[in-house]
Amino acid sequence: MTVTEERPTAARSARRSTTDGPAKGAAGSTNRLLTGGLLVAGLLIALLVLAVVAAASGQLAIPPAEVASGFLRGLGLDVGPVESHPRADATLWSVRFPRVAMAIVVGAALSVAGALMQGAFGNPLAEPSVVGVSAGAAVGAASAIVFGLTAFGAWTSVLCAFVAGIITTAAVYLFSRSNGRTEVVTLVLTGIAVNAVAGAALAFLMFLGDTQAREEIVFWQLGSLNGSRWDHVFVVAPLALLGVLLAARLARPLDLLSLGERPARHLGVNVERLRIFSIVLVGLLTAAAVSFCGIVSFVGLVVPHLIRMVAGPGHRLLLPASALGGAVCLLAADMVARTAVNYAELPLGMVTAAVGGPFFFWLLHRTRRTAGGWG
């Protein structure tokens, strides 16, 4: 075939590519919207079902229909079956509903914080603990326990944990900043160093404390939603909602940053300001969560990965879907912690680590195999 015979074929191919391109792009966009809608709908249904099952499960078994009717009765709507046990409604509203609500709020906060860290620093291994907020909160709570601080009554350890977590986050950021910039590697290494110092401080506080103080510190480190009350939920929920809404406003800049720092700057993104704001939100979300329930690992690391595998890297869908996924994950983990052993409760952090650790190893292996290595 001659060159002149090839030109019409090339021209026809070019015309096909120009005409098929918009169609393929529109089809791809429609598929992404459909996938995103199905994912969000599926997560909402799973969250609703899990919430009912979690509220029905426990030492006092309550049928799911009575859970729904008890919830409506609490809102002033007397519909559905009456309670089969005289303490069923009281148990639901004073113990189980606050715990379910706290699990949803904390799971959403930790997962969104993890998605923010991974997006802002382009590091799939980043999670909220990288900035030291969890370790700092642990030191704050332990200090209140060991030294018997009671300035704010029952809220003293919570406030100390929250303030210490925010201070630690600020310290990690300031120590990792150099020449007006925050490098990813420097931030991670600084976080490791600060976490090590916080671990040493925590060990020293345990050395100073008596047996009861040590048990309280260990219990706090292992994480638990036991003792959750409505007044706790009403403190954490507004902070978590504020953090999630502000994080959603960063979706487009985070998408542009995923192209690389230089292209993002050319497209008008102030990368340093974006990272500062992300760190502030991560500190706010994580400190609010761990101040009440202790350290809960792997939720902020694994859940955004799972959502990204299904929904793709776009943060407009990733952030809200991560919030729902984190709520589902922590609610399921707390239900296992409450019901796996009769008349006992497993530490929540142990359950999430036992499930999240092996899954993350599988995720690392899968990523390396599909990418052909890390290089």
User: Three-state DSSP class for 255?
Assistant: helix
User: Three-state DSSP class for 154?
Assistant: helix
Confidence at residue 33, expressed as pLDDT on a 0 to 100 scale:
73
Confidence at residue 371, expressed as pLDDT on a 0 to 100 scale:
57
Mean pLDDT of the region 337-350: 89
Q: How many residues in total does the chain contain?
A: 375
Amino acid in the structure at residue 226:
N
Token representation of residue 106: 């904390």
The alpha carbons of the chain give a radius of gyration, in whole angstroms, of 24
pLDDT tens-digit map of 359-370: 778 777 776 676
Confidence at residue 85, expressed as pLDDT on a 0 to 100 scale:
76
Mean pLDDT of the region 40-51: 95
How far is the first Cα of the chain from the last one, in angstroms, to the nearest whole number?
43
Alpha-carbon gap, residue 252 to 113, rounded angstroms: 16
- Local confidence band at 37 (pLDDT 50, 70, 90 cut-offs): confident
**Which 8-state DSSP code applies to residue 346?**
-
Model confidence at 15: pLDDT above 50: no
pLDDT tens-digit map of 223-236: 899 989 999 999 89
User: Looking at the domain 101-367, which fold is it?
Assistant: ABC transporter involved in vitamin B12 uptake, BtuC (1.10.3470)
- Local confidence band at 192 (pLDDT 50, 70, 90 cut-offs): confident
Asked if 304 and 363 touch (Cβ cutoff 8 Å), the reply is: no
Q: Whole-number mean pLDDT of the chain?
A: 84
State what percent of residues in the chain have pLDDT above 90: 36
Confidence at residue 27, expressed as pLDDT on a 0 to 100 scale:
59
Token representation of residue 61: 């078994």
Token representation of residue 55: 């509220």
Alpha-carbon gap, residue 315 to 249, rounded angstroms: 10
CA-wise closest residue to 220 among 241, 198, 202: 202
- Local confidence band at 250 (pLDDT 50, 70, 90 cut-offs): very high
Q: Where are the domains of the chain?
A: 101-367
Confidence at residue 220, expressed as pLDDT on a 0 to 100 scale:
83
Model confidence at 130: pLDDT above 70: yes
Phi-psi region of 353 (alpha: psi -120 to 50; beta: other; left: phi over 0): alpha
User: Three-state DSSP class for 80?
Assistant: coil
* Beta bridge partner(s), residue 178: 181
**Which 8-state DSSP code applies to residue 250?**
T
Model confidence at 374: pLDDT above 50: no
Confidence at residue 26, expressed as pLDDT on a 0 to 100 scale:
55
Tell me the CA distances in angstroms from 307 to 115, 210, 346, one per residue in order. Answer: 10, 44, 27
Alpha-carbon gap, residue 30 to 367, rounded angstroms: 27
* Beta bridge partner(s), residue 117: none
Asked if 113 and 244 touch (Cβ cutoff 8 Å), the reply is: no
State what percent of residues in the chain have pLDDT above 70: 90
User: Three-state DSSP class for 92?
Assistant: helix
Mean pLDDT of the region 136-147: 91
pLDDT tens-digit map of 52-108: 999 999 888 888 888 988 888 888 887 778 777 778 888 899 999 999 999 999 999
Q: Where are the alpha helices (DSSP H) in the chain?
A: 3-56, 64-74, 88-91, 97-121, 133-146, 156-176, 184-208, 211-222, 230-248, 251-257, 261-266, 271-293, 299-311, 315-339, 348-371
Alpha-carbon gap, residue 351 to 272, rounded angstroms: 36
Mean pLDDT of the region 342-368: 83
Q: What is the dihedral of CA 230, 348, 220, 167, to 10 degrees?
A: -80
Confidence at residue 316, expressed as pLDDT on a 0 to 100 scale:
92
Asked if 302 and 134 touch (Cβ cutoff 8 Å), the reply is: no
Asked if 47 and 325 touch (Cβ cutoff 8 Å), the reply is: no
Alpha-carbon gap, residue 344 to 354, rounded angstroms: 18
- Local confidence band at 158 (pLDDT 50, 70, 90 cut-offs): confident
pLDDT tens-digit map of 277-307: 998 899 889 988 888 888 898 899 889 988 9
Mean pLDDT of the region 28-53: 86
Confidence at residue 18, expressed as pLDDT on a 0 to 100 scale:
45
- Local confidence band at 191 (pLDDT 50, 70, 90 cut-offs): confident
Model confidence at 372: pLDDT above 60: no
Q: What is the dihedral of CA 343, 210, 354, 341, to 10 degrees?
A: -10
Crossing angle of helices 211-222 and 348-371, rounded to 10°: 40
Model confidence at 3: pLDDT above 50: no
